[in-house]
Amino acid sequence: GNGYPDEHDDGALSDDAEEALRTAFDERQLDGVRDGYRVVREDGPRTLFTFTADGRVRQAVIARDGEAFGEKGWYVESWARCDYAELPEEVAEAAGVQVWSDATGRVSTRRITSYAGAEHCAWEHMTFLKVGKAEYVREPDASLADFFAGPYASSVALAPDARDTGFRRGSDHLWLSADGAWAYVGSGERVERWPRVVERLGCI
């Protein structure tokens, strides 16, 4: 989460705590669950909102009535949320976060996650998969070939030395090559082969 403990220095001020919550989402000062909060505490100039699912608090936001830039109003002072794997599935999807599962259920995005490439890079057709510290890419641009361990393949036989990670998303299962250079994604005899990123990849 983020916090502004002393003064508000980012975004517009609002007329009340509920509006401050909506404004913070509109201005992308926070992410996660957008709706379904309830006020659980009001303490002077601060209001605490929480979102609960399955009997547990999954996200909390504190709005504060204060002064900034010579004006007085409400703003989000601090917030925190659980991992996207612990939030409702539609929340992760709306954020563009693809959550994977294993035999025990949904897996933390700190262990594995995937997402579409950045729109401002014109990489929306590429899918990035992060498994621990490794990153793999589906359908990378040919112009970026030097950044990967090798070429992407849409249909290959699963390598004999591939290790089943136990991770799955929908009907797709994930295997990794013994040397970590390849991710194999699919469900049948033929799978996709995603190359690992070997040079730092980014765009302006």
d(CA 75, CA 191): 49
Which is it for strands 56-68 and 71-81: parallel, antiparallel or unpaired?
A: antiparallel
pLDDT tens, 141-186? 888 989 999 999 999 999 999 999 999 999 999 999 999 999 999 9
pLDDT of residue 151: 96
Residue ranges of domains in the chain: 17-82, 97-195
In order, the DSSP letters of 27-41 are TTS--S--S--EEEE
For residues 26 and 35, the answer to whether their CB atoms sit within 8 Å is no
Model pLDDT for residues 85-131, shown as the tens digit of each residue: 999 999 999 999 999 999 999 999 999 999 999 888 889 999 999 99
